[in-house]
Amino acid sequence: MAIEWRILGRAGADNALHVVVDTGQARESLLFDCGERCLDELRPAAVQAVAHLCFSHFHMDHVAGFDGFFRLNYNRPEVPVGVWGPPGTIEVMGHRFAGFVWNLHRDQSGEWIVREIGREEIGTARFLTSEAFAPARRLPDRPREGSVVHRTRDWHLEARLLPHGSIPSVAYRVVESPRRNIDPLALRRYDYLPGAWLQEVADDTTSDAELVEVGGRSLRVGELRRELVVTSPGDSIAWLTDFLVEPGSEEWDGLVAWLAGTGTLVCECQYRSADAALAAANAHMTADLVGRLAAEAGVDRLVLQHLSRRYGAEEWLGMLGEATAFFPKTILPPEWNLGA
Ligand SMILES: [Zn+2]
Ligand SMILES: [Zn+2]
């Protein structure tokens, strides 16, 4: 199990986050936002492998690259394309789909499941390529249960609405399920002979009540799990962009609690600390606030993205310094080659 990630797009330009959750058996891909030219750095096969496209919001710099994504995936067979976003996503996506002339679509495969994340519920609509993506086929809303919006056996997706001026911006977190490993020391301590039975103990689908043969003895899987299995938390990564939350507010405390223990926090860092007035006027964060947020949440590392193009390389490095003053384990995306 591992989470691979990469920031797409350059410093001062549109950015996106590509995440691959490698479960050992499969590689599942998610894309967070889709700004202009962000897909240039991915091979077409990687774009076609994206199972979930997660929009924070629909300001132009987060959606301008969508046509390239759509072109590679509009008639994707078998695996539907999942789209996530804030309230209004179904309507916006309907307009995007309708922005083309369709006349060779009737026999084409392709299914898009578009979900909009509200505070209380999640709305869903299906769009089919064979119907030229119209009408949106609404499915019943489902109530939200905590922050988790999508769950698989190996990982889950969480979402939280953050304030971005008069609109919400969705923050996301991908969290691997806890890892269960056999403790080799415990194996020796109990003097069990290793064998095929170890796989049954490690396999989640085997029930605790089942019996396995261990060195000629018949033992319960549940009992062996209690003796031998150590559980450690899985890795996690969060995508936060286009928001302003003030320290000391209820919103800040809630965000800190939600992010607590996150592995990698990828966060917008639009303005220098000295430009706080500008940041407040445009509902964005400053470098010092981002560093404070990472420090209070106790994440493992902080990656800055969405830096304003009003600055140059020297000032972007200055912003790194401003965040690092609060949270030392802060980096700029390595692909940017800014010498930091
Ligand atoms: Zn933006
Ligand atoms: Zn925005």
In DSSP terms, which residues pair with 214 in a beta bridge? 217
pLDDT of residue 340: 61
Q: With left for phi above 0 and alpha for psi between -120 and 50, is residue 258 left, alpha or beta?
A: alpha
**For residue 241, how far is its CA from the centre of ligand 1 (angstroms)?**
7
DSSP letter for each residue of 134-147:
-S-EEEEEEE-BTT
| Ligand showing the shortest atom-to-Cα distance for residue 58 | 2
pTM flag (> 0.85): yes
| Ligand showing the shortest atom-to-Cα distance for residue 305 | 1
* ∠ Cα 63 64 70 (to 5°): 75
Give the integer Cα–Cα distance in Å for 228 and 208.
13
| Ligand showing the shortest atom-to-Cα distance for residue 168 | 2
**For residue 151, how far is its CA from the centre of ligand 1 (angstroms)?**
27
| Beta-carbon contacts of residue 315 (< 8 Å; ≥ 6 apart) | 272
**For residue 329, how far is its CA from the centre of ligand 1 (angstroms)?**
24
**For residue 129, how far is its CA from the centre of ligand 2 (angstroms)?**
29
pLDDT of residue 234: 93
Is 127:138 a contact under the CB 8 Å cutoff?
Answer: no
Catalytic residue of the set 14, 22, 40, 61: 61
pLDDT of residue 123: 98
pLDDT of residue 145: 87
| Ligand showing the shortest atom-to-Cα distance for residue 61 | 1
Q: Which amino acid is at 126?
A: R
Give the integer Cα–Cα distance in Å for 328 and 30.
28
pLDDT per 10-residue tile (average), the chain, 340 residues: 95 98 94 98 98 98 98 95 98 97 95 98 98 96 96 96 98 94 91 90 89 92 94 94 97 98 98 98 98 98 98 97 98 89
Q: Extract the tokens encoding 113.
A: 């499941």
Give the integer Cα–Cα distance in Å for 159 and 116.
11
161 CB-side CA count, 13 A: 18
**For residue 311, how far is its CA from the centre of ligand 1 (angstroms)?**
15
Q: Which amino acid is at 236?
A: S
Whether 203 is catalytic: no
Is 74:104 a contact under the CB 8 Å cutoff?
Answer: no
**For residue 282, how far is its CA from the centre of ligand 2 (angstroms)?**
9
DSSP letter for 38, please. G
DSSP letter for each residue of 194-252:
PSTHHHHHH-TTS-TT-EEEETTEEEEHHHHHHHHEEEEPPPEEEEE-S----TTSHHH
Give the integer Cα–Cα distance in Å for 2 and 60.
32
Is 286:323 a contact under the CB 8 Å cutoff?
Answer: no
Cα-based distances in Å from 329 to 146, 263, 277, 324, 339: 29, 11, 27, 7, 16
Show the domains of the chain with their CATH numbers.
1-155 (no CATH), 179-232 (no CATH), 244-340 (3.60.15.10)
DSSP letter for each residue of 1-51:
-EEEEEEES-TTS--EEEEEEE-SS-EEEEEE---TTGGGGS-HHHHHTEE
Q: Extract the tokens encoding 153.
A: 């056996």
Give the integer Cα–Cα distance in Å for 194 and 163.
54
pLDDT of residue 221: 95
Give the integer Cα–Cα distance in Å for 84 and 93.
10
